């Protein structure tokens, strides 16, 4: 016979609102988030010789390739900024976004064995992925700042007040990667072909984003369309603030902010809906 004074310590209820973030419950599992972040960090460099040094090697080698291919051969403009610093800025931001988006897009498929055995807020997994990638971003931004300080010392760049917007720009990338990743992770539970196309799609998306070229290089309808690319405002603001170059306007960043948070809301709704039944389709 049930004791009327008894209180349950855990209640699992499938009938929650699609807009319910359940942040309090996610906060209770902060130790699990820490464990996932630690796991991702260790597994990334397990059985490697150089280990975390790859955090530096990857952007350096990528920047050199971009400098040769797009700077020397294609002769793309950099709005007067030092090419090395221009490409390094783009590579640093792009590495974080693409890595976070790819990681979160496999939330359900890649963790189905765990989700099927034990309960915890499913939002814990994509959150841990974007945090794990933030650690990599922090190290790569440190590399960028070192190179940036050199060019600042010799007077080749002229930063401005918009450099203070960097934390907000990083927040926007976190929200965008999380929102888009939740959408793709939900869709891939039923349409696994999307997972195969995503890597190719991200590569194409990079060329639609001012990573290797400034937005000022775009003309006609392409320039107008670039304003509706959520990453355009982020990349242009970052380069404008740190390097003092670029075709940046607050309107551009405002459009990016609105689109990103709308996409996050859509991703959250889809994610909360799919997490209830994904084990039937994954």
Distance CA 97, CA 185 (A): 16
Q: Give the confidence band of 112 by pLDDT, cuts at 50, 70, 90.
A: low
Output the pLDDT for position 127.
86
Whether 114 has a pLDDT exceeding 80, the answer reads no
Provide the mean pLDDT of the chain. Answer: 83
Nearest to 95 by CA among 66, 59, 52, 132: 59
Buried b (16+ CB within 10 A) or exposed e, 39-54: ebeeebeeeeeeeeeb
Output the pLDDT for position 52.
67
Which whole number is the average pLDDT over 61-83?
Answer: 91
117-156 residue pLDDT tens: 677 677 888 888 898 889 889 989 999 999 999 999 999 9
């Amino acid at each position: 016979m049930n004791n009327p004074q008894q209180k349950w310590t855990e209640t699992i209820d499938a009938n929650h609102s699609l807009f319910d973030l359940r942040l309090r419950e996610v906060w209770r599992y902060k130790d699990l988030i820490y464990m996932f972040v630690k796991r991702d960090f260790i597994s990334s460099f397990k059985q490697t010789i150089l280990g975390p040094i790859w955090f530096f090697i990857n952007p350096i080698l990528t920047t050199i390739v971009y400098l040769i291919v797009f700077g020397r051969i294609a002769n793309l403009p950099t709005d007067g900024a030092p090419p090395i610093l221009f490409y390094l800025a783009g590579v640093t931001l792009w590495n974080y976004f693409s890595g976070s988006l790819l990681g979160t897009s496999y939330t359900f498929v890649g963790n189905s064995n765990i989700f099927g055995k034990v309960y915890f807020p499913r939002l814990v997994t994509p959150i841990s992925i974007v945090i794990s990638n933030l650690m990599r971003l922090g190290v790569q931004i440190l590399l960028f700042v070192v190179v940036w300080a050199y060019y600042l010392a010799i007077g080749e760049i002229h930063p401005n007040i918009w450099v203070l917007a960097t934390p907000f720009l990083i927040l926007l990338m976190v929200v965008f990667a999380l929102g888009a990743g939740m959408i793709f992770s939900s869709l891939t539970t039923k349409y696994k072909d999307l997972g195969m196309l995503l890597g190719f799609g991200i590569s194409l998306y990079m060329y639609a984003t001012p990573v290797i070229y400034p937005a000022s290089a775009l003309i006609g309808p392409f320039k107008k369309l670039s304003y509706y690319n959520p990453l355009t405002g982020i990349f242009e603001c970052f380069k404008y603030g740190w390097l003092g170059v670029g075709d940046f306007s607050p309107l551009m960043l405002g459009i990016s902010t609105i689109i990103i948070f709308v996409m996050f809301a859509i991703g959250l709704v889809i994610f909360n809906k799919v997490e209830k039944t994904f084990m039937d389709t994954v």
